[in-house]
C-alpha cells in the first residue's frame, strides 16, 4: 500500500495505528445476511452448512469463516434466502431505520446489498426505488433484487439529479451509499490500493456532495437521509457532512442511534458524536455513516400513477393456470407482463428497468413465465404446483439438466427444503428445465 495512505492513517488513528496496520495482513471480514421474507433464523441455521457467528451490525447478519468456499452456488443463496455481504455493510440500512409502508430511495444502489436489505424491511409494503447510474451495474442490481424475490420495487438507471427532481419530496427515507475511494475495501479489491491518490479522494468528495445535495430534494418534510461510504478519508466523510450542512439549512445532523462502531474523527466544529465509523478493529471493514433529517418543507413533485390495465383474458388465464394471482395491478410493456400490489408509477423520462414483478414475456400470443414470478416471496403461497427436490436433483437442475421426475403437467415450481429456486415444465414424464441459462452452474 502507498506510504502516503499509511501516513494519513497513522495521523488519524495515533496509538491505534499499529493495531490497524496489523489488520491489513489479516483476511477480510466476510458475512451473510438472511432474507427473513423467505426464511427465519432457526431454519436458516439448520440448513446452513457452516458455523455462524452473529455480527453487531444487523440482527439477521452473520460472519462467515475464512475458509468457506463457493457459497454463492448454495441453494440458500440461489433461492434468495441469503445475501453475501461484508458484515459492516449492513450498518447503514440499520441506521436508516426503515419501517413497513415507507417510501425509500436508494440513490446509488448497485450491486444491491443495501437495496435488498431495505426491501426486506419494507415487507412488500410501501415502495423502494433503487437507482444506479451505470447501466451494466444496474443489471446486476436488478438481478439481485429478482433473486431475493422483491416486487414493490422500481429499478431505475438515471442520473441522481434527474431522478431527485422528478421525485421531489416523495420519500420518507433516502440512502446515499456514495461512490468513494474505497479505502476500506483495499483487502478485497487490489485496484483500490493501486489506484489510491489524493486527487481521487478530492474528486470523490466533490461528486459525493453533489449527489447529497440532489438527495435532499427527494426527501419529504421530516424525512431522513443516511450518507455512507466505505472509505476512511475525512475529505469524503466528515468534511462532506460539514459542507452539506453549510449548504442546506433545511437539514440537521441527527444521532445514528446505534452502539456499534465508534464516533467520527474530530473535524472543525462538527458534532462527530452523532456519526458512526467502523474500522477493522470494530470487527468490520471500513465504513462511515451519518444521518440527517429534513426540517423545512419544500415544494413536492406530483406523484403520477398509470391507469390500471385489465390483463387480457387469455394472458390472465395462462397466469392463473400457474398460480392464484392475488388482487393487484398489471402493466404490459414491450411484450412483458408486470404485476404490482400497488398502482404503477409514471416516472416521466426516467429510465425504468423494472417496476414490480416480471411475470412473463408474451411470445406468439403465449405468456411464457419468467424466473422473477417464481422467485417472488410475496407470491410464494399462491402457486398451484411445486416439486420438492433433494440435493442431487438440485445439482442437476442448477446444471440445466432435465429432471426425471414424473407426475407433473405444466409449469411447476422447483423447491429445495421449501425454498423456491426456479421452475420447470412437466409433461407427466419429466420436468424440462427452465432455470435461467445465466444462473446455471458450469
Active-site residue set: 230
What stretch of H or E contains 373? helix 371-375
Quote the cell numbers at residue 330: 398489471
Q: Which residue has the cell 440435493?
A: 391
| Alpha carbon separation from 226 to 83, 209, 212 (Å, rounded) | 21, 13, 9
Beta strands in 141-232 (DSSP E): 153-156, 171-177, 219-229
Residue 413 pairs with which residues in a beta bridge? 386, 423
CA 20/CA 254 separation, integer angstroms: 28
Q: Which of 2, 70, 80, 1 is nearest to 30 (CA)?
A: 70
Burial class, 352, CB count within 10 angstroms (exposed 0-12 / middle 13-18 / buried 19+): middle
- Report yes or no: 265 and 277 within 8 Å, Cβ to Cβ: yes
Where b means 16+ CB within 10 Å and e means fewer, 357-370 reads bbbbebeeeebebb
Phi, psi angles (nearest 5°) of residue 77:
-80, -45
Amino acid at each position: 500500500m502507498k506510504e502516503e495512505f499509511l501516513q494519513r492513517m497513522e495521523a488519524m488513528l495515533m496509538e491505534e495505528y499499529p493495531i490497524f496496520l496489523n489488520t491489513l495482513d489479516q483476511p477480510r471480514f466476510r458475512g451473510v445476511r438472511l432474507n427473513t421474507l423467505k426464511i427465519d433464523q432457526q431454519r436458516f441455521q439448520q440448513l446452513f452448512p457452516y458455523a455462524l457467528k452473529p455480527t453487531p451490525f444487523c440482527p439477521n447478519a452473520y460472519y462467515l469463516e475464512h475458509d468457506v468456499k463457493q457459497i454463492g452456488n448454495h441453494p440458500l443463496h440461489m433461492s434468495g434466502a441469503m445475501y453475501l455481504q461484508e458484515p459492516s455493510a449492513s450498518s447503514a440500512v440499520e441506521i436508516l431505520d426503515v419501517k413497513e409502508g415507507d417510501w425509500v430511495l436508494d440513490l446509488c444502489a448497485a450491486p444491491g446489498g443495501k437495496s435488498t436489505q431495505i426491501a426486506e424491511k419494507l415487507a412488500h409494503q410501501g415502495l423502494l426505488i433503487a437507482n444506479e447510474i451505470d447501466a451494466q451495474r444496474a443489471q446486476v442490481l436488478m438481478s439481485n433484487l429478482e433473486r431475493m424475490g422483491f416486487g414493490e420495487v422500481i429499478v431505475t438507471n438515471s442520473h441522481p439529479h434527474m431522478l431527485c427532481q422528478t421525485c421531489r419530496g416523495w420519500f420518507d427515507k433516502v440512502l446515499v451509499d456514495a461512490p468513494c475511494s474505497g479505502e476500506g475495501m483495499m483487502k478485497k479489491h487490489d485496484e483500490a490500493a493501486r489506484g489510491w491518490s489524493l486527487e481521487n479522494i478530492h474528486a470523490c468528495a466533490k461528486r459525493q456532495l453533489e449527489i447529497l445535495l440532489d438527495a435532499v430534494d427527494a426527501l419529504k418534510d421530516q424525512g431522513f437521509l443516511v450518507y455512507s461510504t466505505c472509505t476512511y478519508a475525512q475529505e469524503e466523510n466528515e468534511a462532506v457532512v460539514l459542507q452539506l450542512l453549510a449548504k442546506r439549512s433545511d437539514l440537521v445532523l441527527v444521532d445514528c442511534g446505534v452502539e456499534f462502531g465508534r464516533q467520527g474523527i474530530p473535524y472543525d466544529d462538527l458534532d462527530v458524536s452523532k456519526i458512526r465509523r467502523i474500522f477493522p478493529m470494530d470487527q468490520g471493514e471500513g465504513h462511515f455513516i451519518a444521518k440527517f433529517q429534513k426540517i423545512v418543507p419544500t415544494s413536492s413533485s406530483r406523484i403520477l400513477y398509470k391507469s390500471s390495465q385489465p390483463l387480457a383474458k387469455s394472458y390472465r388465464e395462462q397466469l392463473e393456470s400457474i398460480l392464484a394471482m392475488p388482487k393487484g395491478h398489471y402493466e404490459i410493456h414491450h411484450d412483458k407482463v408486470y404485476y404490482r400490489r400497488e398502482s404503477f408509477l409514471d416516472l416521466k423520462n426516467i429510465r425504468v428497468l423494472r417496476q414490480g414483478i416480471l411475470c412473463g414475456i408474451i411470445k406468439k400470443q403465449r405468456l411464457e413465465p419468467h424466473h422473477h414470478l417464481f422467485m417472488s416471496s410475496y407470491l410464494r403461497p399462491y402457486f398451484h404446483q411445486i416439486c420438492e427436490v433433494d440435493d442431487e436433483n438440485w445439482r442437476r437442475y442448477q446444471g440445466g439438466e432435465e429432471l426425471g421426475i414424473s407426475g407433473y403437467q405444466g409449469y411447476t415450481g422447483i423447491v429445495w427444503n421449501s425454498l423456491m429456486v426456479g421452475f420447470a415444465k412437466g409433461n407427466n414424464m419429466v420436468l424440462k428445465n427452465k432455470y435461467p441459462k445465466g444462473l446455471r452452474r458450469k
